[in-house]
C-alpha cells in the first residue's frame, strides 16, 4: 500500500506547494483523501490519471480541501471520458455544497449529466461508514463550523491511515491516532498559535498522546516551513510516496 502526497500545502500555496490531495493505492482501490482546488495540476505533474481514482474522502468543505472536485467532474465528462463509478464521501451537506461550488465556478455545469455513476456518501461523526471497501470513522474537528469539519480514520487491507484534516487538538485526537499505521497531522504554524488549526507547538506538547506508528506533518504555512529544519517529525512534500 502506498500513500502519495500529490498536494501537501496550505490554502495559500506556501512554499509553492499544491493544496491538499493525498492519494492512497490499496488492494483493489485507489482513493484520495481531500481534493483541493489545485489537485488536477498536482496529479498531472505526477502522471496520475484522475480517472483511476475510485473514491474521494473529504474532511471538510473548504476550497483547499474540496475545490478541485468540480474541475475533475467536468474533465471526466468532457475530456477524460470517464466510464467507471466515482464515490465522493464527505461530511453532511457534501453533495449540495459541491453542486453550489460547481455552479459558481462554471455556470452551466448543472445542466450536464455524467455518463458514469457518481455516488455521494455523507458521513456523520463518531461512527463507522463502509465506503467502497473502506471502513471510515469520522471524528468532529475543531475548525470553522460552516465547513462541517471532521478528522478521518480509514481502514483498508489491515492498515489504518488517520488524518486530522484542518482543526485544533480535541478530545478525539488521541482516538483518531490510536495505533494507526500512519497519522497525517496538520502542522500549520511552528510557534504562533492559530485558531481552528493544529500547530506544531500543540503537537510537541501532546506528542505522548499520539500512539500512531508513523506521523507525517502536512499543511504547513510559510512560518512553519521556515522552521522545518528544527522539526524532528517527518514532514510531507509534494510528490513524496510513503509505503505502508
pLDDT score of 2 more than 90? yes
User: What is the residue extent of each domain of the chain?
Assistant: 2-237
pLDDT score of 79 more than 90? yes
Work out the burial of residue 223: count CB atoms within 10 Å of its CB; fewer than 13 is exposed, 13-18 middle, 19 or more buried: middle
CA distance 206 to 127: 25
pLDDT score of 193 more than 90? no
Per-residue pLDDT tens for 214-227?
999 999 999 999 99
CA distance 166 to 218: 10
pLDDT of res. 136? 98
Per-residue pLDDT tens for 125-175?
999 999 999 999 999 999 999 999 999 999 999 999 999 999 999 999 999
Q: How confident is the model at residue 179 (pLDDT cuts 50, 70, 90)?
A: very high
Per-residue pLDDT tens for 100-120?
999 999 999 999 999 999 999
69, 88 contact by CB (below 8 A): yes
Query: What are residue 152's phi and psi, to 5 degrees?
Result: -130, 145
pLDDT score of 20 more than 90? yes
Among 8-12, 65-69, 83-87, 189-193, whose mean pLDDT is lowest? 189-193
| Signed CA dihedral, 229, 235, 236, 240: sign only | positive
> Model pTM greater than 0.95?
yes
CATH superfamily name and code, 2-237: Ribonuclease Z/Hydroxyacylglutathione hydrolase-like (3.60.15.10)
Residue 172 gets which letter from DSSP? T
pLDDT score of 192 more than 90? no
Mean residue pLDDT of the chain comes to: 97
CA distance 37 to 106: 13
Amino acid at each position: 500500500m502506498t500513500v502519495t502526497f500529490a498536494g501537501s500545502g496550505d490554502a495559500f500555496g506556501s512554499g509553492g506547494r499544491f493544496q491538499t490531495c493525498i492519494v492512497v493505492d490499496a488492494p483493489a482501490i485507489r482513493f484520495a483523501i481531500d481534493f483541493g482546488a489545485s489537485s488536477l495540476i498536482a496529479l498531472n505533474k505526477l502522471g496520475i490519471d484522475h480517472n483511476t481514482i475510485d473514491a474521494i474522502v473529504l474532511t471538510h468543505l473548504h476550497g483547499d480541501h474540496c475545490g478541485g472536485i468540480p474541475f475533475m467532474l467536468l474533465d471526466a465528462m468532457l475530456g477524460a471520458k470517464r466510464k467507471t463509478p466515482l464515490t465522493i464521501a464527505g461530511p453532511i451537506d457534501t453533495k449540495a455544497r459541491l453542486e453550489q461550488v460547481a455552479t459558481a465556478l462554471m455556470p452551466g455545469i448543472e445542466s450536464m449529466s455524467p455518463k458514469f455513476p457518481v455516488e455521494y456518501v455523507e458521513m456523520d461523526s463518531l461512527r463507522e461508514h463502509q465506503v467502497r471497501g473502506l471502513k471510515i470513522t469520522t471524528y468532529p474537528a475543531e475548525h470553522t463550523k460552516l465547513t462541517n469539519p471532521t478528522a478521518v480514520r480509514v481502514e483498508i487491507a489491515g492498515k489504518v491511515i488517520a488524518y486530522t484534516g484542518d482543526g485544533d487538538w480535541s478530545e478525539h485526537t488521541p482516538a483518531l491516532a490510536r495505533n494507526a499505521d500512519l497519522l497525517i497531522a496538520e502542522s500549520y504554524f511552528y510557534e504562533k498559535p492559530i485558531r481552528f488549526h493544529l500547530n506544531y507547538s500543540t503537537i510537541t506538547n501532546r506528542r505522548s498522546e499520539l500512539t500512531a506508528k508513523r506521523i507525517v506533518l502536512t499543511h504547513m504555512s510559510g512560518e512553519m516551513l521556515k522552521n522545518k529544519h528544527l522539526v524532528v517529525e517527518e514532514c510531507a512534500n509534494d510528490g513524496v510516496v510513503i509505503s505502508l
